[in-house]
Amino acid sequence: MVDVGSKAETERVAVAGGSITMQPETLALVRSGGFEKGDVIAVARVAGVMAAKNTSNMIPLCHPLPLTQVVVEFDDTSSDDRIDITATTKTTYKTGVEMEALTAVSVAALTIYDMCKAVDRGME
Q: What is the DSSP string of 32-98?
A: HT--TT--HHHHHHHHHHHHHHTHHHHSTTPPP--EEEEEEEEE-SS-SSEEEEEEEEEEEESS--H
CA dihedral 105, 69, 27, 76 (to 10 degrees): -100
Class of domain 10-116: alpha beta
* 34 has pLDDT over 90: no
* Catalytic hit among 76, 81, 84, 114: 114
Domain locations in the chain? Answer: 10-116
Q: How far apart are CA 119 and CA 101, in angstroms?
A: 28
| pLDDT one-digit tens code per residue, 91-110 | 999 999 999 999 999 999 99
Q: How far apart are CA 74 and CA 115, in angstroms?
A: 15
| pLDDT one-digit tens code per residue, 71-96 | 999 999 999 999 999 999 999 999 99
How much is the average pLDDT of 3-31?
96
Q: Containing H/E element for 8?
A: none
pLDDT at 1: 87
Q: Residue 40 carries which side chain, given as an amino acid letter? A: V
pLDDT at 95: 94
The tally of CA atoms less than 13 A away on the side-chain side of residue 30 is 31
Q: How far apart are CA 104 and CA 45, in angstroms?
A: 9
- Per the annotation, the verdict on 114 as an active-site residue is yes
